[in-house]
Amino acid sequence: MSRSKRKLEHIDHAMETGQIDSSGLEDIRFIHQSLPDINLKDVSIASSIGELQLSSPIFINAMTGGGGKATENINAQLAEIANTLSMPMAVGSQMAAIKDTNERRSYQIVREKHPKGVIFANLGSEATVEQAKTSIEMIEADAIQIHLNVIQELVMPEGDRDFTGALQRIEKICEAVPVPVIVKEVGFGMSKETVRKLYEAGVKIVDIGGFGGTNFSKIENNRRLETYQFFNDWGIPTAVSIIEAKYTEPDIQVIATGGIKNALHIAKAISLGANAVGMAGKILKWLHEIGADGTTKNLQGIFNELRVIMTAVGARNINDLQRTPVLIQGTTNNWLKERQIS
């Protein structure tokens, strides 16, 4: 099967059968405060990732590119939404455009439609330093995401089977590229052991890409008869993974993604220590069902709701929200006890 056909199938499956709803954020509860002493109009949702200043903590996470007109169209619409709302946006893996320069247009359209915006390049951990530099130059990226997707590769019969040397390549990329490097998972979460290894290799920002939203095992298994169903329930829920990362390496910046679907999820993820929050599957579904205008309105609604939630807990800014006390219940609580994180 061609790479571009696979990409289009991923998009179809991601919107329906490839979604789950169990990020662990349902186990997090804010503690009501009756005297928040705050005026909603003074609440700021500005945040930062590394040296990048952001007007809000929410960004559109990596999805597509390199699948001809269809993915070019999706990227153009996503970039217009990001431009209207001054949101950062990541492009999908650029390996297709590194191997075939004819594929560049579907990525470069993002810079064209979001000329002054924060844009992330994206490659897998098989990338070399030269490929990383090319992907950054291709879209004048402000940061680069390096994705780790072992389970997705294993579930695909044509996927990679050799995962050696990834950490060493990431270390070299961190030393060589001129922009911040974000190492990300794609929906299986990062453990404290993984985060420690990345931190020791020089990584300063991780997107923990937790279990609980888009599920690439289900997406791949649903595309074929011979399956590895046992991976469908494999992964570290987003809530657990944020805490594992922050607890292990307090100095590492954490981006929370994986099953983020509303303002309450965003507020909870930040209260666990995240600086920023990415959404992929939910935005793709909105784009499909209600178009770019509807998606823009929904995201504007989320910005407003985030301010309302911050007012309720008395958080004037993202820094305050990161320090807001929460209750951790249920499976997430059990998980943290088992992992000796408290």
Residues of this chain that interact with ligand FNR (CB under 6 A) are 10-11, 14, 61-64, 92-93, 122, 145, 147, 184, 186-187, 209, 213-214, 257-260, 279-282, 284
Cα Rg of the chain (Å, integer): 19
Judged by beta carbon, residue 288 or residue 316, the one nearer ligand FNR is 288
Query: With respect to ligand FNR, which residue has the nearer C-beta, 25 or 313?
Result: 25
Least distance (Å) between residue 184 CB and ligand FNR: 5
**CB-nearer residue toward ligand FNR: 214 or 221:** 214
Closer to ligand FNR by Cβ: residue 158 or 251: 158
Burial of 3: CB neighbours in 10 Å, binned 0-12, 13-18, 19+: middle
Smallest distance, Å, CB 219 to ligand FNR? Answer: 8
Q: Give exposure, 69-81, as e/b (b: 16+ Cβ within 10 Å).
A: eebbebbbbbbbb
Torsion angle of alpha carbons 213, 90, 183, 179, nearest 10°?
-160
Nearer CB in complex with ligand FNR: 85/260: 260
Dihedral of the alpha carbons of 56, 61, 65, 71, in degrees to the nearest 10: -80
Phi-psi region of 291 (alpha: psi -120 to 50; beta: other; left: phi over 0): left
CB of 12 to ligand FNR, least distance (A): 9
Minimum CB–partner distance for residue 140 and ligand FNR (Å): 19
**CB-nearer residue toward ligand FNR: 43 or 173:** 173
Q: What minimum distance in Å lies between the beta carbon of 157 and ligand FNR?
A: 19
Q: In terms of CB distance, is 114 or 147 closer to ligand FNR?
A: 147
121 with 143: CB under 8 angstroms? yes
Least Cβ distance, residue 265 to ligand FNR (angstroms): 10
Single-letter amino acid, residue 46? A
Rounded to the nearest 10 degrees, how much is the dihedral formed by the CA atoms of 253, 322, 248, 27?
-120
8 A C-beta contact, residue 315 and residue 43: yes
Name the minimum Å distance from CB 15 to ligand FNR. 8
Give the torsion through C-alpha atoms of 133, 125, 123, 52, to 10 deg: -70
Closer residue to ligand FNR (CB): 184 or 246: 184
Residue 103, judged by CB atoms within 10 A of its CB (0-12, 13-18, 19+), counts as buried
Question: Closest distance between ligand FNR and the C-beta of residue 260, in Å?
Answer: 5
Which residue number, 282 or 307, has a Cβ lying nearer to ligand FNR? 282
**For the chain, what percentages of helix, strand and coil (3-state, to nearest 5) are there?**
50, 15, 35
Structure-token pair, residue 108 = 């470069």
> Is residue 274 within 8 Å of residue 242, measured between CB atoms?
yes
Q: Closest-CB residue for ligand FNR?
A: 213
**Residue 279 beta carbon to ligand FNR: minimum distance, rounded to whole angstroms:** 5
